[in-house]
Amino acid sequence: MNLALKDIRHGLFRFVLTCFGLGLLMTVVLAMIGIYNGLVADALAVVEAPAADVWVVEAGTKGPFAEASSIP
């Protein structure tokens, strides 16, 4: 422990910069996790909101949420 304190006193700027970098890294990771969970929750809410039992989609299209389709 004594050696670690001496190292911190010797390179205080480097220690503070490393702590700042690790804090920034953790912030970015938590933000990415939050954004991903929000996207998943939003996608599930869009699909579950109509409460449809069956989806009817025109052949050759990418689906009801990706592009419009017209079925006569």
pLDDT in tens, 15-41: 999 999 999 999 999 999 999 999 999
In a domain, 57, yes or no: no
**Domain containing 26: what range?**
17-49
> What total number of domains does the chain contain?
1
In a domain, 54, yes or no: no
In a domain, 44, yes or no: yes
pLDDT at site 21: 97
In a domain, 61, yes or no: no
In a domain, 27, yes or no: yes
Query: Is the separation of the CB atoms in 69 and 61 below 8 Å?
Result: yes
In a domain, 55, yes or no: no
Q: How confident is the model at residue 72 (pLDDT cuts 50, 70, 90)?
A: low
In a domain, 9, yes or no: no
Tokens 């079925």 belong to 71
| Residue partners of 46: CB distance under 8 A and separation at least 6 | 65
Q: Span 27-56, mean pLDDT?
A: 91
In a domain, 33, yes or no: yes
